[in-house]
Structure 1
Amino acid sequence: MTKTLGSLILDEITLTVPLSTDADDTRTIDVFARIVTRSGGENLPYLVFLQGGPGNEAPRPSLSPLNPNWLGVALEEYRVVMLDQRGTGLSTPVNDDILNKPAEDVAEYLTHLRADGIVRDAEAVRKHLGVEKWNLLGQSFGGFTTLHYLSRHADSLDTVYFTGGLSAIDRPAEDVYINCYNRMRRNSEEFYRRFPQLRDTFGNLVELARAGEIVLPTGEVVSETRLRSLGHLLGSNDGWFDLYSLLERDPKSNAFLHDLAGLLPFGNRNPLYYVLHESSYADGVVTNWAAERVLPDDFREDPTLLTGEHVFQEWMDTVPSLKPWKDVALILAQNEWPKLYDAQALQNSNAKGAAAVYANDVFVPLDYSLETAAHMPGVQLFITSQHEHNGLRSSAGAVLKHLFDLAHGREVR
């Protein structure tokens, strides 16, 4: 189906594909992709955007303002394929109604929604379009998926771009989460150096949470660990301002409670983000609530130190939208996940492209990103402290333009 949006041409594709790689498994899912083309760009190569997550659908393009705001830069050189990753958007989305099935069956179904399944779907779309090779742009979790793509189907790829998405390889999830705690400690202390009065403010909020006195409009009684997960805001360019503004408010006010509900991660419209989150770092391991198990001693002792993308078991008992998923999440935490990445395959892939690596990234650690990049010498690095993890969006296309120039050997300004 072809539609138009101003000067943009939108071609929509829905394919029915196998759920798993088991030849005896007859289950299928639908996979939806929307191809965005600018007027006059009908013969440009394809660029597949793999978004962050897990569990997020592709952005819906719009004009005035342009969404996503980097799209204009991308469309100068490519036709952009917005793929709804399996389980999201229009790709057989996972909703609470799946919980009518036994928890064991639901958990087994969700094991097919990781990067390996997403790559199989992308390959199906590529073959449907009759394209020998195409290009990828992976943001965060989408970059992890791009690494798996290179590990399995490098011959299908021309140029790859990463923005905050060079995952650790051959490391347990515990290593990643410890590293992220270290970076959250740094960002927490930096926030309090800038706004020293807010350390006591946050400490007082923790006391209210411990007493069960912060109750959101959703009915959630906010726990200490949920409150401290506000630290994820310190992983974006302007998230610190949202945190600052929240802490200015009276914690008993409607404004505070509504704003807090909107700023907390993991408990929103996307249960997969919580349920499958640790599996994103599971490169052939059982995660078993890795982030919770490796919580550093100083974080246990100082409740004003904030956490980031660290998930905790107790949220299954305190967050209304996550309570129905408890049995499924417990099963998945004990699942032995297959490996996603192959360092030798990456080395042999002759991958070319460019990667934005954010020096202060609290979600995808710099040192592990550099280890992974060493397996892909043809991928040029843009290491910067100017942006945080959301640099693709916050730069309104400047980061992407820089990557295009690096990858194609053009003068970079």
Structure 2
Amino acid sequence: MSVVIRQPGVVLTDHLFQLPLDHAAPQGERIEVYAREVVAAGKEHADLPWLLYLQGGPGGRAGRPLGRDSWLDRALDDYRVLLLDQRGTGRSTPATRQTLPLRGSAAEQADYLSCFRADSIVRDAELIRRQLLGERGQWSLLGQSFGGFCTLTYLSLAPEGVREAMVTGGLAGLRSSAADVYRAAYPRVARKNAAHYARYPQDVEAVRRIAEHLSASPAELPGGGRLTVRAFQALGLLLGSGSGSDTLHYLLEDAWVRGSAGPELSDTFLSGAQSKLSFAEGPLYAVLHESIYGQRSVDPGPTGWAAEQVRSEFPEFDAARALANGSPVRFTGEMIYPWMFETDPALRPLQETAELLAERTGWPDLYSADALAANQVPVAAAVYHDDMYVDAADSLATADAVRGLRTWVTNEWEHDGLRASGSQVLDRLIGMVRGEL
């Protein structure tokens, strides 16, 4: 029986679905996929259109609503919203360092996780749609970041289930390999570094001081992880959000205390760094990250730790080099590196599994150029002008490849514009997809 919870202004209903692990073998093993239905209080019995929210990631559970907060406030004016915990996340059958060993060897774990990409998520959603809306029912899609990638896969595989689609910061390059993605990403990250140091010029020396200290003596984080120079640089993931530069600055200004042996990195700083760097709450983000770009028609080979391989083409991200020549130490961005599976306790048990996924070849295609070129579904997408996470040039090329897709290119918001703008981004996309704007 579904559990119903009331919060101020909303009614929440739990849904748990038993779905095939491998949709190519529908009579085989089953997993659980959880979703939370959200409807405005007083509209519980209204005949409202459904909106499926596809979360960013990969490996991110859907947000936990606190009443009519953020973009959800606008959505609930018009829709009954379904927040999907994509397979392996949240209250769906979990895939973590604690549960994956139950699958057996690293090879068996890698085979299991090969069923956790966007194509499987879309096929989960289709089975859920049929259960909730009926065979002929259609729902609207809202895809944020990786959720936008999933939206493109949905329009490729099952457009008949979609009434309209909205994407924010998530138009993937349809023909971009993992290496292509990172080759375009490093220059964007460099620009975000430059903007941060222009805003907070005092951070140039602050970062160099921390990097010099960590070069000589990596620090132990409160949860058992190791803060190396490269791990410290990975805090640049923050620079892609609207308030991320400020958050990074405030973290840096608390870096030092004077202890019995002299200056040392403060517990406040180390705890803050751990909260930003640990993958304990979302290990699939790290384990599956490069696989989301794997498509055999684009590159039949392995993704092969593409971010690490491409990094050598951008020596300005070499901290030792920067320290030696007196230049600013640059932070990295949305890159997953093999050393993360050594420094993060949440990832260490999954190191061999991640290696096998990085070596895997022949990933099935996620997008159909023919289906997208013939698209009949109204689609609107917010493209953030200098999005650190998703290349705007790739996004605009994809927009041209999807029949009828309308774009809104803006520099008013960063990648987290859907959340940070309150109702503004979603309200504009709703107007666009309905032809009102």
Fold similarity call, TM over 0.5: yes
Is 1:275 aligned to 2:287, yes or no? yes
Partners in 2 of 1:338 and 1:40 — Cα distance? 42
Is 1:378 aligned to 2:396, yes or no? no
Give the aligned length. Answer: 407
Residue 25 (structure 1) shift: 6.3
For 2:240, the equivalent position in structure 1 comes to 235
For 1:56, the equivalent position in structure 2 comes to 60
Q: Deviations over 1:257-276 (max 9, x none)?
A: 11111122x53321111101
Q: Determine what percentage of the aligned residue pairs are the same residue.
A: 39
AA aligned to 1:313 is P
* Aligned mate of 2:168, from 141, 152, 163: 163
1:6-405 to 2 correspondences below 5 Å: 6-23=8-25, 26-38=28-40, 39-40=42-43, 42-63=46-67, 66-67=68-69, 69-95=70-96, 96-100=98-102, 101-129=104-132, 130=134, 131-251=136-256, 252-264=265-277, 267-284=279-296, 285=299, 286-295=302-311, 296-300=314-318, 301-302=321-322, 304-336=329-361, 337-405=363-431
Residue 2 (structure 1) shift: 5.2
Partners in 2 of 1:83 and 1:250 — Cα distance? 38
Give TM-score scaled by structure 2 length.
0.90
Partners in 2 of 1:163 and 1:121 — Cα distance? 21
AA aligned to 1:382 is W
Partners in 2 of 1:250 and 1:118 — Cα distance? 41
Unaligned runs of 5+ in 1: none
Aligned partners of 2:142 and 2:148 also within 8 Å? yes
* Alignment CA distance shift 1:2-1:258 (3 Å): closer
For 2:260, the equivalent position in structure 1 comes to none
Residue 368 (structure 1) shift: 0.2
Runs of 4+ in 1 over 6 A off after TM superposition: none
Partners in 1 of 2:226 and 2:35 — Cα distance? 39
Residue 74 (structure 1) shift: 0.3
3-state secondary structure, aligned to 1:402: helix
Residue 408 (structure 1) shift: 1.3
Residue 102 (structure 1) shift: 0.7
Partners in 2 of 1:195 and 1:60 — Cα distance? 33
Aligned partners of 1:351 and 1:376 also within 8 Å? no
Alignment RMSD, CA only?
A: 1.6
* Alignment CA distance shift 1:213-1:31 (3 Å): closer
Partners in 1 of 2:342 and 2:435 — Cα distance? 53
Aligned partners of 2:218 and 2:228 also within 8 Å? no
Aligned partners of 1:212 and 1:221 also within 8 Å? no
3-state secondary structure, aligned to 1:75: helix
AA aligned to 1:307 is T
* Alignment CA distance shift 1:49-1:218 (3 Å): same
Partners in 2 of 1:308 and 1:121 — Cα distance? 30
